[in-house]
Amino acid sequence: MDQGWAAVIAAGVAAVVAVAASFIGVWLGRRTVRDQAQVEHGQWLRNQRQEAYVAVLDTWDVAMSAFEAIIDGSEERKGAHTWATENVGGNPFLSTVLFGEVDQHSGPVNEALERVRLLGPDPVERAAKNLEDALKGLGGAIRANSGEEELQDWPNHAFWNEARRNASECRREFFRLARSEIRTAPSTGEVAR
């Protein structure tokens, strides 16, 4: 009988160990899958952020070149404004044109900034918000005094230079934060933030 009880106890222990091992195996399998999913999501997010940051910088530089061209071509624009005012009527010709051009060049930048605000992280998102505000400031500086008939005070160079200086600082800060985010390797066990 002692051998019988020993066999029953051994079988019971074996059954408990087998059940426990299967639960541990399922738990470890699920954890491995979850951990792998987090790693893959983190890599995907990192790639998306990199693309978004580069898109902001590219669209920003294109918009800045276009804005600089508007200011640099101010004398030709004043001549077109004067001609339109004298021959077609309907002041403020230049103001209407500038609103359209600023919106056209700002649009791609705003779309790229929106993507960054979606992807984060928070420090880069705040820098993107600062860039958005600087973009609005640049547009305001370009349009300032453009509704006047004589255009003596357009472009407002003091306003433009201040907006451009602020925009350059905001771009540098965005670049610094984006570069830091991209270059920093995630630590082990770090969940995508």
Two tokens, residue 103:
């919106």
At 113 the pLDDT is 97
At 69 the pLDDT is 93
Question: Which domain does 163 fall in, by range?
Answer: 50-183
At 99 the pLDDT is 86
**Could you give the 3-state DSSP secondary structure of residue 66?**
helix
Please check whether residue 19 lies inside any domain of the structure: no
Based on its alpha-carbon atoms, the radius of gyration of the chain, rounded to whole angstroms, reads 31
What is the distance between the alpha carbons of residues 17 and 103, in angstroms, rounded to a whole number?
70
At 67 the pLDDT is 95
For residues 99 and 185, which has the higher predicted lDDT (pLDDT)?
99
For residues 37 and 72, which has the higher predicted lDDT (pLDDT)?
72
Q: In whole angstroms, how far apart are CA 21 and each of 12, 72, 76, 83, 89?
A: 14, 76, 82, 88, 88
Two tokens, residue 54:
């580069």
What is the distance between the alpha carbons of residues 130 and 108, in angstroms, rounded to a whole number?
16
Please check whether residue 91 lies inside any domain of the structure: yes
The string of pLDDT tens digits covering residues 16-71 is 766 666 777 767 677 776 777 787 878 888 999 999 999 999 999 999 999 999 99
Please check whether residue 26 lies inside any domain of the structure: no
Per-residue pLDDT band for 3 (boundaries 50, 70, 90) equals: confident
The string of pLDDT tens digits covering residues 106-117 is 999 999 999 999
With CA atoms as reference, report the closest residue to 131 among 176, 174, 182. 174
The string of pLDDT tens digits covering residues 122-176 is 999 999 999 999 999 999 999 887 777 677 787 888 999 999 999 999 999 999 9
Please check whether residue 70 lies inside any domain of the structure: yes
Compute how many other C-beta atoms are within 10 angstroms of the C-beta atom of residue 39. 16
Say how many domains are in the chain: 1
Please check whether residue 178 lies inside any domain of the structure: yes
What is the distance between the alpha carbons of residues 128 and 46, in angstroms, rounded to a whole number?
17
Two tokens, residue 104:
């056209």
Q: Is 124 left (phi over 0), alpha (psi -120 to 50) or beta?
A: alpha
At 175 the pLDDT is 97
Please check whether residue 34 lies inside any domain of the structure: no
Q: Are the CB atoms for 84 and 90 separated by under 8 Å? A: yes
At 90 the pLDDT is 58
Q: Please compute, for residue 104, the number of CA atoms within 13 A of its CA located in the half-sphere on the CB side.
A: 9
At 174 the pLDDT is 97
For residues 69 and 188, which has the higher predicted lDDT (pLDDT)?
69
The string of pLDDT tens digits covering residues 79-108 is 777 777 677 665 566 778 888 899 999 999
What residue type is assigned to position 119 of the chain? L
- Number of separate helices (H) and strands (E) present in the chain: 5, 0
Please check whether residue 57 lies inside any domain of the structure: yes
What is the distance between the alpha carbons of residues 119 and 112, in angstroms, rounded to a whole number?
11
At 180 the pLDDT is 93
Please check whether residue 127 lies inside any domain of the structure: yes
